[in-house]
Structure 1
Amino acid sequence: MVAKIVKASFPGHLLTRPSVWQAPYIFASPHSGRHYPSRFLSSSILDLTELRRSEDAYVDTLLPSPDEIGVPILTARFPRAFVDVNRSANEIDTTMFTTPPKISAESRSNRVAAGFGVIPKYAAAGRAIYSRRLSGQEGSSRLSMCYEPYHAALRGLIDECVDLFGTAIVIDWHSMPSVGASGQKLADAVLGNRYGASCDRAVCTSWEAALDGAGLTVRRNSPYAGGYVTSTYGKPAKGVHVLQIEINRGLYLDEARTMRIGARFRLLKERLGSAIASVISDAALPLDIAAE
């Protein structure tokens, strides 16, 4: 489960499906990718450990398998420092490139201004990733080879889920630092639903109750209310709900030094598995109906 240095210039995504899709859920892990192109590493002034601090490290491995829960899981293999799929494709800092990528750039976005656009300028803690500008072709290629296929897969899953069940619920899994920007200790889990705009209240309540029942402390929308995925795909009036779940890294990771899995990983995985099974079982169709 360690990070991999790969020759592939543009690592893709992984979509794993259950043998039977049993409930109107889709799980996504957009920031846990740890396949680092060797060409990317050679262009960065940061070492691998520093780049990995941008990851939602190992969130994908905390989740049960698709066959255990009966829902598909979409995971980005490329690292967040390479391409951030929880951004608009237009959130581009044009100053990063010798010539701008061939898109309509939203360079005045707050996230771009902070250095965290779709192709990040900075890693965690505001550390510059590059010492020189990238080519416009590099930016365009990352979007066409990583970003666009990931979102096409997510849109396809949502459409398929709605066709099967009449509704779709996307759970966008992330991790967060154990301590907030102002130094406060964060909850074990934060549920982000754009203050009710991206999913029905009942969806959020069911996850809050399940996580609380598994022994985790839970907050809503503070300090994370959801990002591009929740705001773009969450359309409760049309039967599509998106809930972002942030897991405290201090529960399972040596976040301060090595970025390695900690001693409490297995316990957290068991607790999350229990909470997930509870929610999914309440929403699951009988096997004979789901198989039709």
Structure 2
Amino acid sequence: MTDTIFDLVQGDGPLVISMPHCGTDLSPGLAGRLTDEAMTLRDTDWHIPRLYGFADGMGATLLSARYSRYVIDLNRPSTGESLYPGQATTGLCPDVLFDGTPLYRDGQEPDTAEIAERVEAYWRPYHDALAAELERAKARHGFALLYDAHSIRSHVPRLFDGRLHDLNLGTARGTSIDPQLAARVVAAMEAAAAAEGMTCVTNGRFVGGHITRAYGQPAEGVHAIQMELAQDNYMDEDAPPFAYRPDRAERLQRVLTAVLDAFAGWRPAQI
């Protein structure tokens, strides 16, 4: 199933995988307003649908954005408040790249009215679809499991010191998921990462963005986690065309398979 704003593949299991930052389309007229550096779309979560392609065989529902985070960031609140007060970040309609350089040419930034239009045209349809898929999973299984899939360059000094861990799991500091399920997923990640010689952390620099925090409501039967990946484990992250590297991705996919198996294989005690 497809839509002009997102791609949706419906599965029959409780697992819903959201990919809000993989899009590369730009809204009409936007390309001419962006800097040359912004036009590389460097901050995209490149190739995430391909990396997680194996999840289709797990009965997962896959929801992926078509439009770039430079149009609007689907993992930010529609009201625009910062998810990480006091820390460098980017906003609902970013005006800088991750490294702090301007995204727009001088005087081309969106005003309040344009931002509101983008919320209605791009943000709301994605979130309406995500909410509907979680409700569909709950209706079928009595609960839903939301996995928010992300990636980022392994070195972004403005956002974090040094090299990012290979896998960065976020549970909104334990509030978005049942504690026993969280422990199960963390144990699976740590064991699989160690077996592949990879590093991992839970609730480090990335604890989960708006999607994890807003939809992860364990008391209501929705359990959510975010996974942020260091991109050099599956692609050429430094320069366009940011090519996918199957030779690197295979090792990472083994770890991700273990994580998703642990997550999707869980059942609440009362179910």
Check whether TM > 0.5: yes
Mapped pair 1:260 → 2:234: no
| SS class of match (1:202) | helix
Aligned length: 256
| SS class of match (1:185) | coil
CA distance in 1, matches of 2:42, 2:156: 15
Larger radius of gyration: 1
Match of 1:209 among 177, 187, 200: 187
Conservation of the 8 A alpha-carbon contact between 2:38 and 2:103: no
Match of 1:61 among 45, 50, 53: 50
Q: 1:37 to 1:269 in 2, by over 3 A?
A: farther
Conservation of the 8 A alpha-carbon contact between 1:12 and 1:78: yes
Q: Aligned ranges for residues 75-94 of structure 1 at < 5 Å?
A: 75-91=64-80
Aligned-pair distance for 1:279?
A: 2.6
Conservation of the 8 A alpha-carbon contact between 1:12 and 1:77: yes
Deviations 1:217-268 (A, max 9, x none): 3210111111111111111122111100111111012212222223534414
Q: Which residue of 1 aligns with 2:207?
A: 225
Q: 1:127 to 1:89 in 2, by over 3 A?
A: same
Q: Which amino acid aligns with 1:168?
A: A
Aligned-pair distance for 1:277?
A: 5.8
Mapped pair 1:158 → 2:134: yes
CA RMSD of aligned residues (A): 2.7
| SS class of match (1:126) | coil
Aligned-pair distance for 1:43?
A: 1.4
Structure 1 stretch displaced more, 115-124 or 78-87: 115-124
Structure 1 residue ranges without an equivalent (≥5): 1-9, 92-105, 285-292
Q: Which residue of 1 aligns with 2:163?
A: 185
Q: Aligned ranges for residues 48-197 of structure 1 at < 5 Å?
A: 50=40, 52-65=41-54, 67-91=56-80, 106=81, 116-130=90-104, 131-132=106-107, 133-179=109-155, 181=157, 183-197=161-175
Deviations 1:109-149 (A, max 9, x none): 86799572211111221121122143554323211111000
TM-score (norm 1): 0.78
CA distance in 2, matches of 1:38, 1:47: 19
Structure 2 residue ranges without an equivalent (≥5): none
Deviations 1:136-181 (A, max 9, x none): 5432321111100000011111111111111111000011332364
| SS class of match (1:32) | coil
CA distance in 1, matches of 2:263, 2:208: 21
Aligned-pair distance for 1:63?
A: 0.4
Runs of 4+ in 1 over 4 A off after TM superposition: 108-115
CA distance in 2, matches of 1:84, 1:196: 24
Q: Aligned ranges for residues 273-292 of structure 1 at < 5 Å?
A: 274-275=257-258, 278-279=261-262, 282-283=265-266
Q: 1:217 to 1:115 in 2, by over 3 A?
A: closer
